[in-house]
């Protein structure tokens, strides 16, 4: 069981990073991006296709990240150009449509669950140390370190730098930000491109554990949304904690044979519980204010 929980921490770090990408997109450009993991998976499969053809893993990784950044940047540019004045739900609906389209294209290009699994490189599989007979691989430390680094770096950037202040102004008052000279469209497209590249890197990190097929990796958006909901789409530390808890729950469920086949339901249960709990609190607050 301890072994499964530690293995779950590897995915938990990746889930935390995906949740952080959802939170960042929402906080900085006010869009819930449902197409995020489909874009990241597209870049990851470009990378693995290149390594299958004999290209070294590091140039392939850069090309894959650039592909995801370009796709995500184009999506952001389209939303800025044609949907800037629309409500958040309309923009979210656009990303849902793009998620469906990209998933269909990805399955067509790279194959389905039974035929499209690829062998992703796993450079962090070597053991680091052993705890109570459980071998801890490098991937656990890399994913946790990456998640902590992103949380701290983004938190400091948003609160301590002029760029962070500009990005917050862009998310809260985009039209006002443009009036005072902030290059809102350029910053928004930059945010989209950066999130796309980070998502691709996270998917490459978790792909060896999850099987390496396009549908499974693109479907990680449900897990990313569940993690983002733990942080209420605002708090970076709570989102980080949510990712680690979800990874541990998933690892724990995989060690229990009676519930192992329901492992994929965990993110949806987390979403349902959080929705129920928050609606319950809103009802309580409304009743209390009368």
CATH number of the domain within which 164 lies = 1.10.3470
Q: Would you state the pLDDT for residue 193?
A: 93
- Sign of the C-alpha dihedral computed for residues 105, 109, 111 and 113 taken in this order: negative
Ordered alpha helix ranges (H), the chain: 2-29, 36-52, 57-82, 88-110, 138-160, 162-172, 174-179, 184-210, 214-218, 221-230, 236-255, 266-289
Q: Would you state the pLDDT for residue 290?
A: 52
- Among 249, 224, 208, 258, which residue's Cα sits nearest to residue 5? 249
Predicted structure pTM score: 0.82
Going residue by residue through the chain (290 aa), what tens digit of pLDDT does each one get? 666 666 677 678 888 888 888 988 888 888 899 999 999 999 999 999 999 888 888 899 999 999 999 999 999 899 888 887 788 888 899 999 999 999 999 988 887 766 667 788 776 777 767 766 666 777 777 878 888 888 888 888 877 887 777 777 766 666 666 666 667 778 888 889 999 999 999 898 888 877 778 888 998 998 888 888 888 888 888 888 888 888 888 777 777 776 666 667 777 777 778 777 766 665 555 555 55
Contact predicate 241/3, CB 8 Å: no
Q: Would you state the pLDDT for residue 103?
A: 92
50: containing domain: 1-287
Question: In which residue are the tokens 């470009």 written?
Answer: 46
Q: How many domains does the chain have?
A: 1
The tokens for 7 are: 């293995």
Q: 112 CB contacts (<8 Å, ≥6 apart)?
A: 213, 214, 215
Contact predicate 158/168, CB 8 Å: yes
Distance CA 105, CA 89 (A): 24
Pairing label, strands 134-137, 127-131? antiparallel
């Amino acid at each position: 069981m301890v072994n499964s929980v530690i293995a779950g921490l590897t995915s938990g770090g990746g889930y935390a990073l995906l949740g952080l990408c959802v939170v960042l997109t929402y906080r900085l450009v006010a869009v819930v991006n449902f197409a995020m993991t489909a874009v990241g998976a597209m870049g990851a499969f470009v990378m693995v296709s290149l390594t299958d053809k004999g290209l070294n893993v590091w140039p392939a990784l850069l090309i894959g990240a650039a592909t995801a950044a370009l796709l995500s940047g184009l999506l952001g540019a389209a939303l800025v150009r044609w949907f800037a004045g629309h409500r958040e739900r309309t923009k979210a609906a656009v990303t849902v449509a793009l998620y469906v389209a990209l998933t269909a294209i990805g399955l067509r290009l790279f194959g389905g669950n039974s035929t499209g699994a690829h062998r992703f490189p796993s450079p962090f599989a070597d053991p680091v140390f052993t705890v109570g007979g459980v071998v801890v691989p490098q991937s656990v430390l890399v994913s946790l370190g990456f998640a902590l680094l992103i949380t701290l770096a983004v938190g400091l950037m948003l609160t301590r730098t002029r760029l962070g202040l500009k990005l917050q102004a862009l998310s809260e008052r985009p039209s006002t930000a443009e009036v005072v000279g902030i290059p809102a469209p350029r910053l928004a497209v930059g945010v989209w491109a950066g999130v796309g590249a980070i998502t691709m890197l996270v998917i490459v990190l978790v792909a060896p554990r999850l099987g390496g097929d396009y549908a499974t990796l693109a479907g990680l958006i449900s897990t990313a949304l569940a993690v983002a909901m733990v942080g209420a789409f605002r708090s970076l530390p709570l989102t980080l904690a949510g990712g680690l808890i979800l990874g541990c729950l998933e690892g724990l469920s995989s060690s229990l044979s009676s519930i192992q086949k329901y492992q994929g339901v965990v993110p949806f249960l987390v979403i349902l519980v959080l929705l129920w709990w928050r609606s319950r609190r809103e009802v309580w607050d409304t009743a209390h204010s009368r």
